[in-house]
Structure 1
């Protein structure tokens, strides 16, 4: 890929950084205020003769409007890469979200739903591209004595693989327990002054994060302080909007910038007791 890559300002910094590392220029497109994914209706206006790809993020495991993005990409002969870091176990329209786009990446970092301590996966629908990605992550090796081409060391260690294999049999139980936490928040939080994440229709979600959006940053900071005083540690995620970081030099993205200052991800994990959940909800509601 060369030139300009259309991307979202509302995701983790690694997404924008990968574009800059490759000598390309990130061109930001603002986000949908409810789904928090890239606003597909604004993508075409950002395409120029230098555009070579769209790099979009399935935010908190919530799918982008993949059909619209595919249509735009085909029309303008662009590649589509999905940052699907949060998407382990997500299905959209009855199939894995990883089936969409030219390449999807999934994170196995320790903070993720399924993890190996560190690491991740790359998924490609084209066999030749998959083969190139695979040899590239292992120094370019073709067996012990030959090489396909240039590569780096991006292999997963045996210890990381063991961690993943130990966790894999419990994923159904983990998803069920996380669903219970999400259901509790949905019922017990006061949404008269908060907004939650709108999950895209036809999505089987994985309950990866529970973000809430405040009316203003002052209210967020007040609530965060109250939670911290009770040793409850929510996360400002994603913050800041990536168009504002020094090396990105992006244009103003009003929706992303506003939401980034007002969004807080609440604790969400197995064995989060009802007593603790009640305390979290009461502190937020108060």
Structure 2
């Protein structure tokens, strides 16, 4: 049996079959159909947010957010994230300016942001890495002081809360990915969340070519999602809390078994934070040790993932370089271990034993 780094949750087939039955009855497949609108309403209720747009994926969510806020020049961002965070900035013809990360949380180091601000800076785009929130208070303070917008890439933090609110409720805009590998998924999909009603309306237009019927208001793109994807989301959303609870049990099993004398993991000692157990990352002593452990696991048909690699400030298609020593070091040594809702605890024991023995 192969154990992959993740495994997509699927609802009972009959439940999904029932959810999509209406699509055959009304032949409404896309273009903001009833299931899409129903999912958006349920997401707003679950997350406790005012506005939520269901879009095609988490990357297009970032792109239309940048476009809708009319950002220019430079965006300060993190080098420790998936490449979509950086490429969404480049795609919109802006320059990413990389600020190094905190050694404890792996999130962007808010204490370093102000030094990177120039007259060209228009926004801060930070990632809640592995589902743990950035220093949202400090980032908001800096943004207000310098009249900057704040976008959070919240691809990892669905179901995580801070001070009683969804982590996705912070910032001018927060985006999320509902890709099949996420805690909550719609097969492919994502969302854009913002509190400003005028901006929400603009984002809604941008999602669908900038027009409603024969009335044209603005530029736009096709960022819509289908009724089939929405149906998967409607089946999965009621099960999110149970999925998170099972991931918590598995994560705590890793906690108890791994040799922490020779390993490091993200830590975040803040009050009022509820984690969603989105990933299980470890930091090895060296890249060589990471490679040894990866090979040892793969011999047993266990597939971990280098996540995140490389440090985004070192992407080969960039024509500039911002030094980020913490991120550059961590990206060489970061390994995400298998974690999904029905991973057996005896498999966690086996994985942990291989890692400890190799260490």
Same fold (TM over 0.5): yes
Match of 1:79 in 2: 149
1:42 aligns with 2:112: yes
**Aligned to 2:150, what secondary structure does the other structure show?**
strand
1:141-164 CA distance string (max 9 Å, x none): 22x221221111111111111111
Match of 1:148 in 2: 217
Q: Distance in 2 between matches of 1:178 and 1:50?
A: 42
Q: Distance in 1 between matches of 2:146 and 2:317?
A: 27
CA RMSD of aligned residues (A): 0.9
Match among 188, 194, 205 for residue 263 of structure 2: 194
Match of 2:331 in 1: 260
Q: Per residue, is there more strand in 1 or in 2?
A: 1
Whether contact under 8 Å (2:265, 2:282) holds in the other structure is yes
Matches within 5 A, 1:109-120: 109-120=179-190
Matches within 5 A, 1:53-68: 53-68=123-138
- Please, which runs of 5 or more residues in structure 2 have no aligned partner? 1-70
1:11-69 CA distance string (max 9 Å, x none): 00011001111111111000001100000000000000110000000001110000000
Runs of 4+ in 1 over 4 A off after TM superposition: none
Match of 2:163 in 1: 93
Q: Distance in 2 between matches of 1:123 and 1:147?
A: 23
1:96 deviates by 1.2
Q: How many residues align?
A: 285
1:167 aligns with 2:236: yes
Deviates further, 200-209 or 74-83:
200-209
Matches within 5 A, 1:203-282: 203-248=273-318, 249-282=320-353
Match of 1:134 in 2: 204
The one of the two structures with greater contact order (alpha-carbon pairs below 8 A, sep at least 6) is: 2
Deviates further, 191-200 or 244-253:
244-253
1:247 deviates by 2.7
1:200 deviates by 4.8
Whether contact under 8 Å (1:11, 1:57) holds in the other structure is yes
